[in-house]
Amino acid sequence: MLGLMLLGHGFEDNEALTTRDVLLRAKINVYTTSLDDSKVVVSSHGLAVMSDLNLKQAVNLDYDFIILPGGLKGVNNILASKEALSLIEKMNAHHKLIFAICAAPSILIKLGLLKGVPFTCFPGFENGNEETYLKDEGVVASERFITAKSMYYSIDFALAIIEKLLGKEKRAQVLKSLKGE
């Protein structure tokens, strides 16, 4: 199981780092990827993070899933990257799993990937998809997409990804470990 997390400058710290941490505890490999030649990406709160790869390196690998953390500036930087958008579309065309939290589902909406698909996101980023927008849900899972409403749901988002990839038993095992039980 191999995943890719796109980190645009301005990504939301918790949505990216907590999600990755919880997935690693489940033994799910997730490469973090910057959008430019530098591997250093600065979060919305000014934390400099060294990504595993840059986008040029990342496009040559085969992934089972992709994760898009929120953070308005990070989302806008992903939207401004033709290479990043192309990669997301390629993942979709190959029926790979796509996970997005907070403002990041708006990327999927702009690409037309959430038409008719139940989803949630940070209020105000549903962009005309109100018919399938589940505003009161913290995390929404469908066949190939998992979306989450906000940073508050980062652990639930990661646990939903674990359940999708490895099943309910593994999710329960990781949750128990997170709680110190």
Could you confirm whether 102 is annotated as catalytic? Answer: yes
What is the Cα 81 distance to its own chain's centre? 16
Of 102, 104, 141, 159, catalytic:
102
Return d(Cα 55, Cα 6) in angstroms, integer: 8
Q: Taking Cα atoms as reference points, which of 56, 59, 60, 145 lies closest to residue 96?
A: 145
Measured between alpha carbons, how far is residue 139 from residues 75, 149, 154, 175, 178 in Å?
A: 19, 6, 9, 16, 18
Active-site residues, by number, are 102
